[in-house]
Homo-oligomer: A and B are copies of this chain.
Amino acid sequence: MQAAQYRDIVDLWIGRLTERSELSGADRDVLRALPFHVVEYAAKREVVGIGETTTECCIVARGLVSRVGTVAGGGKQITAFYIPGDMPDLHSLAVPKATTGLETITPSTVLKVSHAVVRRVVERSPNLGIAFWRECSIDALTGAEWILNLGQRQALARIAHLFCEMAARIAGPITTDSFSFILPLTQLHIADAAGTSAVHVNRTIQELRRLGLLGFEQFEVQINDWPALCKVAEFDESYLHLARR
């Protein structure tokens, strides 16, 4: 299935790949012709459960998706966020058995492409193979930065860093000191990502506001002083490999 209404999201996805990888016209045509099917999810739904063996890769078309792990006692850890154009489980092609879960945060639309199809694409175009591998690797490098964030920074810098990452990914190349963007996370989501309690997230965000760095209300992040925020967070976007030329 290849509904015309999803052409835009496929183009968004291809555009995202193109930012990081040199794709030929033929490569792009192959991607545009890729068969997929569409699944709509409500908020807080499981897209891939831990332990599942998958046969398809996901492309986020709309909404916000998180990678999650759980711990005895009900603790939950978010290990990554995925926005439209991202492929959250591209690695499942090589490792079909999921050891991390995938959950929607907001109502989301996901395009699913079968592993068999992607595998065939990779066999025919090594260049696309490397492009996919690159996306996977950047996901892993982002994970390494999260480890650093959790292991070395305390709450203020840690949560600031989270906001910085999402700002850089969602709001694109940042050229002004103040700007705003929509981030549909609750403070509980931020707590699950930062490895802190929701209560402390609340107090920390108040502290960030008091410092004149940012505000966060109604799912809107208002960055007031980007350079100062980056300094507090020790944020350096190079690990995201956004590579806008």
A207 within 8 Å of B (CB atoms): no
Q: State A151–B153 Cα separation when bound (angstroms).
A: 12
Q: Are A79 and B136 in contact, CB atoms less than 8 angstroms apart?
A: no
Q: Which of A94-102, A106-114, A170-178, A220-228 contacts B (4 or more CB under 8 A)?
A: A94-102
Q: Which of A9-17, A30-38, A118-126, A210-218 contacts B (4 or more CB under 8 A)?
A: A118-126
Q: State A69–B147 Cα separation when bound (angstroms).
A: 9
A152 within 8 Å of B (CB atoms): yes
In the complex formed, the residue of B with least CB distance to A80 is B144
Q: Are A99 and B141 in contact, CB atoms less than 8 angstroms apart?
A: yes
A79: chain B residues within 8 A (beta carbon): 144, 147-148
Copies of this chain per assembly: 2
Also in contact, A139 and B140, with CB within 8 A (given A77-B152, A97-B241): yes
Q: Are B147 and A91 in contact, CB atoms less than 8 angstroms apart?
A: no
In order of increasing CB-CB distance, the 8 nearest A-B pairs are A151-B195, A140-B140, A91-B137, A94-B134, A143-B143, A69-B148, A150-B150, A99-B239
List 8 contacting pairs A-B, 8 Å CB cutoff, sorted by A. A76-B152, A77-B152, A94-B130, A99-B141, A100-B141, A122-B129, A136-B137, A143-B147
Having A129-B129, A150-B150, one finds 14 other A-B pairs with CB under 8 Å, namely A69-B144, A69-B145, A77-B147, A77-B152, A79-B144, A91-B137, A95-B134, A95-B138, A95-B141, A126-B129, A140-B140, A140-B143, A150-B151, A151-B194
A residues contacting B by CB (< 8 A) are: 51, 67, 69, 71-72, 75-77, 79-80, 91, 93-95, 97, 99-100, 119, 122-123, 126, 129-130, 132-134, 136-141, 143-148, 150-153, 193-195, 234, 238-239, 241
